[in-house]
Amino acid sequence: MTRIRKAVFPVAGLGTRFLPATKSVPKEMLTLIDRPLIQYAVDEAREAGIEEFIFVTAAGKTSLEDYFDTAAALEHRLTASGKTTALDALSVTRMNEGALTFVRQDQPRGLGHAVRLARRMVGDEPFAVILTDDVIMARKGALSQMIEAHGNTGGHMVATMDVPLEMTSSYGVLDVFADKGRIAHARGLVEKPHPTKAPSTHAVIGRYILQPSIFDRLDEIGLGAGGEMQLTDAINADVGNVGVCGYRFDGERFDCGSIQGFVQATAAFALARPDLRDAFAGYVADRTQCFRSAA
């Protein structure tokens, strides 16, 4: 079983759905309770044993680099004033020396293009891709679950979940030929098919374990859905070579790329925190009652 040591984080997207907030704040820095989305993704990767973190960034994203850098002046001030709890809160942002690398995507040419830019850093080994928009609340991290399952399947693996048929045009969709528990073996994938053309309702969620052969396929494929270079198309083109399966993770996924999904994630994460749960639940219940009686 090959170890998965590297993960690529495509973080170059504009986040237009969150304007004006994302005018000066990268969408990956938007805060879910008390930490930015990127922290959830990095934590999940770390839990899964990832040692090298490759960020594909763009102009206007330097706060992501600063976030994972040491903040000597701040740490000094907190230490001097004895604010140990605040100091401890920073520990999750500390990365091992040299563990984080950045590559710039100069134009928004799609997820496939972003992943291709990581080629030299990934080299010739299987690797993970994490899309920070997809936040997955789970007892055991979704990527950990996948890496464990990948030990038996090999090939390319994507996280998958069932979506309503009318939603297929928002996702990559698997063409499944055999289902075994959490594993859905696929003969192909289609990016954002119209519901009438969708091969199934098994949608791709933003966690991937990919073989390095994906880079040759990314070189070969042209532009796909939305006029962009699609990762889904490259995986599809590699099915005959290494195979692909979907992994039905145990956990709840939130689409933090949409405002509705972000708000739901905020509520779910607040309700999962012992220090916030009771007060928040009480507040929401009262508020909902006010709203209903006013309607």
Interface residue list for ligand G1P (CB under 6 A): 111, 131, 133-134, 171-172, 191, 203-206, 230, 232, 257
Residue 282 Cβ, how far from ligand G1P at the closest point, in Å?
33
Residue 88 Cβ, how far from ligand G1P at the closest point, in Å?
32
Residue 26 Cβ, how far from ligand G1P at the closest point, in Å?
15
Of residues 76 and 197, the one with the C-beta less far from ligand G1P: 197
Of residues 93 and 264, the one with the C-beta less far from ligand G1P: 264
Residue 131 Cβ, how far from ligand G1P at the closest point, in Å?
5
* DSSP result, the chain: -----EEEEE-----GGGTTGGGTS-GGG-EETTEEHHHHHHHHHHHTT--EEEEEE-TT-HHHHHHTS--HHHHHHHHHTT-HHHHHHGGGG---TT-EEEEE-SS---HHHHHHTTHHHH-SS-EEEE-TTEEEE-SS-HHHHHHHHHHHH-SEEEEEEE--GGGGGGSEEEEEEEEETTEEEEEEEEES--TTT-S-SEEEEEEEEE-TTHHHHHHH----GGGS--HHHHHHHTHHHH-EEEEE-SSEEEETTSHHHHHHHHHHHHHT-TTTHHHHHHHHHHHHHHHHHH-
Residue 103 Cβ, how far from ligand G1P at the closest point, in Å?
18
Of residues 99 and 239, the one with the C-beta less far from ligand G1P: 239
Of residues 131 and 270, the one with the C-beta less far from ligand G1P: 131
Of residues 155 and 172, the one with the C-beta less far from ligand G1P: 172
